[in-house]
């Protein structure tokens, strides 16, 4: 019953009537305190701090993993009445969502491929995307400054020359794109890039100089990206927004345009259960069009048209197995 209530609540949220964002001027005196990434308390996840729930999905022999995963979580500050531009990293409500929603439903897919690192950051409110000229740009810059510093500390204190899987979703992808440009693209560290999984944001083919979109399941050194909608539906405001962007098939990981139910490996739902052969997809106009997933509460999914929130967990098992394959391929070649 609790999962039914949770699903209904999600639908109410996503289909609620539009209201105007409450906002305020971006002011330096209102900026939350800067995180210190030398402290474990500034990280949502370190290999030594996995929660019990996360450990259920992680490798039981974590010390044998030869790669790392650096994950940047999506926008979780969504309340239209919240006037903050950036959320402090000691906000308990935010951190609960980071650990028990984003990390558990997304980062867990990579926890058998590498040791997972997830920095907390002064995340920008969702309105920052719509109000870029009214404080949004400054809020996004502040958020990225945290991610950049966290990555620098990660490289300095934790990485030790190990290969890296970069992962982001939504706002997390916004920041991961910049990390890839600042640290990997046409730079020595690119040799350590296993793959970048960056769904949830439009990514153009010319996004980078030397980091290319991958079109084979065992390809390494590049990136994959996609945006998921219910079959037959497009973004509300601009039908062609994603047209021409990189659209990876997150089931076959090649140029296949359509898949069958039998090809889908597994959808991880919020009850932590895996639903296999649950959906089929079609690649069209820069989108991954998905059928209504087959699982006990699929009726409630029929109300949703934008599957953005499920970009990763709808293909959780597919991603898990693909990340493992790419790591194995990388280690064989290096």
**SS3 state of residue 165:** strand
pLDDT of residue 20: 66
pLDDT of residue 298: 72
Dist CA 83 CA 85 (whole Å): 6
Q: Is residue 104 part of a domain?
A: yes
> φ and ψ at 24, to 5 degrees?
-145, 165
Q: Is residue 169 part of a domain?
A: yes
Q: Is residue 13 part of a domain?
A: no
Beta-carbon contacts of residue 80 (< 8 Å; ≥ 6 apart): 19, 20, 21, 22, 127
**Residue whose tokens read 């970069």:** 166
Domain total of the chain: 1
| Structure tokens given for 302 | 């029929």
Q: At how many degrees (to 10) do helices 136-154 and 171-179 cross?
A: 60
Beta-bridge mates of residue 282: 258, 289
Q: What own/partner pairs with CB < 8 Å and gap ≥ 24 does 302-308 have?
A: 303/11, 303/14, 303/15, 304/11, 304/14, 304/230, 305/229, 305/230, 305/233, 306/14, 306/229, 306/230, 306/233, 306/235, 307/228, 307/229, 307/230, 308/170, 308/200, 308/227, 308/228, 308/229
Beta-carbon contacts of residue 254 (< 8 Å; ≥ 6 apart): 215, 216, 217
Q: Is residue 7 part of a domain?
A: no
- 319 lies in which domain range? 20-333
**Residue whose tokens read 């069958």:** 260
Q: Is residue 12 part of a domain?
A: no
User: CB-based burial of residue 298 (10 Å sphere; 0-12 exposed, 13-18 middle, 19+ buried)?
Assistant: middle
pLDDT of residue 277: 97
Dist CA 11 CA 9 (whole Å): 5
Helix (H) or strand (E) holding 6: helix 2-15
Helix (H) or strand (E) holding 145: helix 136-154
pLDDT per residue as tens, the chain (334 positions): 433 433 433 433 333 334 466 667 767 668 999 999 999 999 999 999 999 999 999 999 999 999 999 999 999 999 999 999 999 999 999 999 999 999 999 999 999 999 999 999 999 999 999 999 898 999 999 999 999 999 999 999 999 999 999 999 999 999 999 999 999 999 999 999 999 999 999 999 999 999 999 999 999 999 999 999 999 999 988 999 999 999 999 999 999 999 999 999 999 999 999 999 999 999 999 999 999 999 887 766 777 899 999 999 999 999 999 999 999 999 999 9
Q: Is residue 285 part of a domain?
A: yes
Dist CA 205 CA 225 (whole Å): 10
What is the CA angle 184-185-187, rounded to 5? 65
Q: Is residue 318 part of a domain?
A: yes
């Amino acid at each position: 019953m609790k999962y039914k209530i949770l699903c209904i609540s999600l639908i109410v949220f996503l289909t609620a009537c539009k209201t105007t964002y409450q906002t305020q001027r971006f002011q330096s005196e209102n900026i939350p305190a800067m995180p210190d990434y030398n402290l474990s308390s500034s990280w949502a996840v370190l290999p030594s701090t996995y929660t019990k729930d996360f450990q259920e999905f992680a490798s039981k022999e974590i010390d044998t993993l030869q790669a790392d995963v650096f994950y940047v979580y999506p926008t979780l500050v969504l309340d239209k009445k919240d006037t903050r531009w950036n959320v402090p990293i000691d906000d308990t409500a935010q951190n609960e969502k980071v650990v028990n929603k984003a990390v558990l439903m997304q980062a867990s897919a990579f926890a058998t491929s590498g040791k997972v690192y997830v920095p907390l950051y002064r995340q920008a409110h969702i309105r920052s995307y719509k109000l870029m000229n009214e404080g949004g740009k400054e809020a996004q810059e502040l958020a990225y400054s945290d991610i950049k510093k966290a990555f620098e500390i990660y490289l300095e204190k934790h990485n030790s020359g190990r290969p890296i899987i970069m992962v982001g979703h939504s706002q997390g992808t916004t920041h991961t794109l910049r990390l890839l440009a600042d640290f990997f693209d046409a730079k020595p560290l690119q040799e350590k890039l296993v793959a970048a999984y960056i769904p949830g944001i439009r990514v153009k083919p010319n996004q980078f100089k030397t980091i290319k979109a991958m079109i084979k399941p065992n390809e390494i050194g590049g990136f994959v990206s996609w945006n998921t909608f219910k079959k037959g539906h497009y973004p509300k405001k601009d039908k062609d927004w994603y047209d021409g962007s990189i659209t990876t098939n997150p089931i076959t990981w090649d140029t296949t345009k359509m898949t069958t139910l039998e090809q889908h490996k597994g959808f991880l739902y919020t009850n932590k259960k895996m639903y296999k052969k649950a959906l089929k997809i079609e690649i069209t106009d820069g989108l991954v069009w998905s059928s209504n997933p087959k699982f006990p509460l699929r009726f409630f999914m029929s109300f949703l048209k934008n599957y953005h929130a499920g970009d990763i967990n709808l293909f959780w098992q597919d991603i898990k197995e693909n990340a493992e394959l790419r790591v194995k391929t990388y280690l064989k070649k290096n």
